[in-house]
Amino acid sequence: MDNGIKTAVSAMEAFEKLEKVGEGTYGKVYRAREKATGLIVALKKTRLHEDEEGVPPTTLREISILRMLARDPHIVRSNF
């Protein structure tokens, strides 16, 4: 397992999945609780196809939009 995967796995261990709230073409969204604080959050698990190398353009676009919205009070910031 490389460092990127280990980091993602340890980040996910900080949360308890409560229920699936949605699913689409690119992944699933879960309601979850941050174990350390009890904060309720939404987690998105993105599907990656094994035949693709790198991060899909749709994921990069979503990250870019979330960065632009980082100061919005309705966007939860990650501490990871």
Closest CA to 41 of 67, 71, 7, 77: 77
Known binding site: residues?
A: 44
Longest alpha-carbon distance in the chain: 38
Distance (Å, rounded) from C-alpha 18 to C-alpha 40? Answer: 9
Written as six digits, the tokens of 67 are 């960065």
Cβ atoms of 35 and 14 closer than 8 Å: yes
Annotated binding-site ranges for ATP: 44
